Amino acid sequence: MPNYKLIYFDVRGRGELCRLILHCAGVPFEDFRDFDYYKDWPAIQSKMPFGQIPVLEVDGDKQLAQSITIARYLARQHGLAGQNDWEQSQADMYVDCIYDLHNATVEATWETDPEKQKELFDKVKQETILPHLEKVEQHLIKNGNGHLVGQGLTWADIAYYAYFTTPIMTLLGSEVLTKAPHLKKLIETVGNNHNISKYVETRPVTSG
Amino acid sequence: MTQYKLHYFNFRGLGELARLIFHYAGVAFEDVRFERSEWPQLKASMPFGQVPVLEVDGQFLSQSYAIARYISRKHGLAGQDDWEQAQVDMYADCIKDFMINGRPIYEEQDPEKQKTLMSQFMSEKMIPHMAVLENQLAKNGGVLVGKDVTWADIACYAFFSYVSVKHPDILKDCPNMSVLINKIASNDNIKKYLETRPTTEI
């Protein structure tokens, strides 16, 4: 088993999908997050390939940057990417959709004024999230087994779980899934996965 | 023989990377292009109401990078093993970030604000990350990953050939990237495609 160290801030943000994949697959890793931003981050940043995190370090000397790339690599290594090239590309597609949703929601996520935050979130909800949900629900029904891709759990399902259980979604978007009952059920299924629920129980509580 | 149909607007935009990969690999595909005026009738038939979409033997794949990665994997342009493929993905994502982060700056209407945003973007992201790509090319013999051209190199070509029209000196400090861009542009298949590609603003 490779030695993994995932370096990211002490928030969910762009690192959480990687953490969830590793936990779901039952793969041990060092979840390097307890560093001081002001004291330690400059030194860490200088060693990161693009000066950004998350970064995955493999066996102490290989580095991989870019959150979705890391998540895809881990999913492929540990049986969560899809069973063939086509399924893997479908999973890639869904995760790219979630990445787009994350980018659309990032401003609202970190807005500290509650009124402005709600305004920002509602705009994203109407313009981006709800139209997307309408399509995803149709695709889920068509796939016929509760999962987005193929016959079982993939990192695409986990990505949807991660996004739709973010703190901002829990705070302001709780009724967003009422029009997407199949997706709602999928998210519950992923949440009930033994390894994921065990991790989530002890995961640090953060605002994003 | 697999039937490929790429659906996108009649401009480069987010569809051009897939077109370039197909042409580079010498793989036949139907390059379905439509005008903006036709889009409202087509939108509902696309899996997520967006394009590009790749139709493969009647099945649909959305998202420009998922498409690029899929056709690259099928045609030897993705990297030789899982780790190389991940490295390729990483460099391609760097280019994607340039596009995602650069777009709101170009869309900013206030010229003063645009100038400030652009200056920040260049100093905090573009220049340092272009330096990373440049160093990697220098270290790795002129391509980003492994021994041969991958779709990450083609993504660099697609991006920098597009940007250098408005910013001709964008690669002034990146001689290795300039060489890579010319290498891709000089490929016989790409040259032939560029000769007949419709000229579009974006």
Domain CATH number, residue A11: 3.40.30.10
pLDDT bin (cut points 50, 70, 90) of residue B135 is very high
- The CATH label, of 1.20.1050.10, 1.20.1300.10, 3.40.50.1100, 1.10.287.1080, for the domain at B82-186 is 1.20.1050.10
pLDDT (0 to 100) of residue A207: 83
For B89, residues 6+ apart whose C-beta sits below 8 A from its C-beta are A66, A68, A69, A72, A73, B69, B152
Distance in angstroms (rounded) separating the CA atoms of residues A172 and A110: 13
Q: Which of A11, A104, A107, A111 is nearest to A54 (CA)?
A: A11
**Average pLDDT of A8-34?**
97
Work out the number of other CB atoms within 10 angstroms of the CB of residue B23. Answer: 22
State the Cα–Cα distance between residues A101 and A91, nearest whole angstrom.
15
- Distance (Å, whole) CA A70 – CA A17: 9
- Is residue B106 pLDDT above 90, yes or no? no
Amino acid of residue A92: D
Find chain A residues with C-beta within 8 A of B82's C-beta: 73, 76-77
One domain for residues A162 and A90: yes
With CB atoms and an 8 Å threshold, state whether B100 touches A103. yes
Binary contact (A85, B73; C-beta < 8 A): yes
Q: Do A64 and B59 touch (CB under 8 A)?
A: no
pLDDT of residue B166: 87
- Locate A44 and state its tokens: 């860490």
- State residue A208's pLDDT score: 84
Summary mean pLDDT of chain A: 96
Complex confidence, ipTM: 0.96
Which chain A residues are closer than 8 Å to B151 by Cβ?
none
Closest partner CB to A68 (pick from B47, B74, B93): B93
Residue pLDDT, tens place only, A122-176: 999 999 999 999 999 999 999 999 999 999 999 999 999 999 999 999 999 989 9
pLDDT at B1: 87
Identity of the amino acid at B148: D
Annotated domain spans of chain B: 4-76+189-196, 82-186
Beta bridge partners of A4: A58
A–B CB contacts, 8 A cutoff, strictly below: 69
Domain contains A207: no
Residues A164, A32: Cα–Cα separation, whole Å: 24
Instruction: Give CA–CA dist A105/B113, Å, rounded.
Output: 22
Q: What are phi and psi of B9, to 5 degrees?
A: -60, 160
Are residues A154 and A56 located together in one domain of the fold? no
Same-domain status, A48 and A96: no
What's residue B118's pLDDT?
Answer: 93
Architecture category of domain B4-76+189-196 in CATH: 3-Layer(aba) Sandwich (3.40)
Same domain, A125 and A68: no
pLDDT tens for each residue of B71-87? 999 999 999 999 999 99
The mean pLDDT of A18-46, rounded to a whole number, is 97
Q: Collect all residues of chain B within an 8 Å Cβ-Cβ radius of residue A135.
A: 47-49
Q: Tell whether A25 and A57 lie within a shared domain.
A: yes
**Probe site for chain A from B21, B61, B62, B133 (most A CB atoms < 10 A):** B62
- List chain B residues with CB under 8 Å of A88: 70
The boundaries of the domain holding residue A59 are: 4-79+195-202
| Residue B33 clears pLDDT 90, i.e. is over it | yes
| pLDDT for B94 | 98
Going by C-alpha positions, the residue among B54, B61, B65, B51 that lies closest to residue B30 is B54
DSSP codes joined into one string, B9-41: ESSSTTTHHHHHHHHHHT---EEEEE-GGGHHH
B131 touches chain A (CB under 8 A): no
pLDDT at residue B201, as a whole number: 86
Please report whether residue A208 resides in a domain.
Answer: no
How far apart CA B193 and CA B189 sit, in angstroms, is 6
Number of folded domains that form chain A: 2
Determine the pLDDT at residue B151: 98
Using CA atoms, how far apart are residues A117 and A119, in angstroms rounded to an integer?
A: 5
pLDDT digits (tens, 9 = 90+) for B160-200: 999 998 899 999 999 999 999 999 999 999 999 999 999 99
Q: Testing the interface with B: which of A92, A98, A106, A141 to mutate, by most B Cβ within 10 A?
A: A92
Q: What is the mean pLDDT of residues B93-105?
A: 93
In this structure, are A68 and A106 located in the same domain?
Answer: no
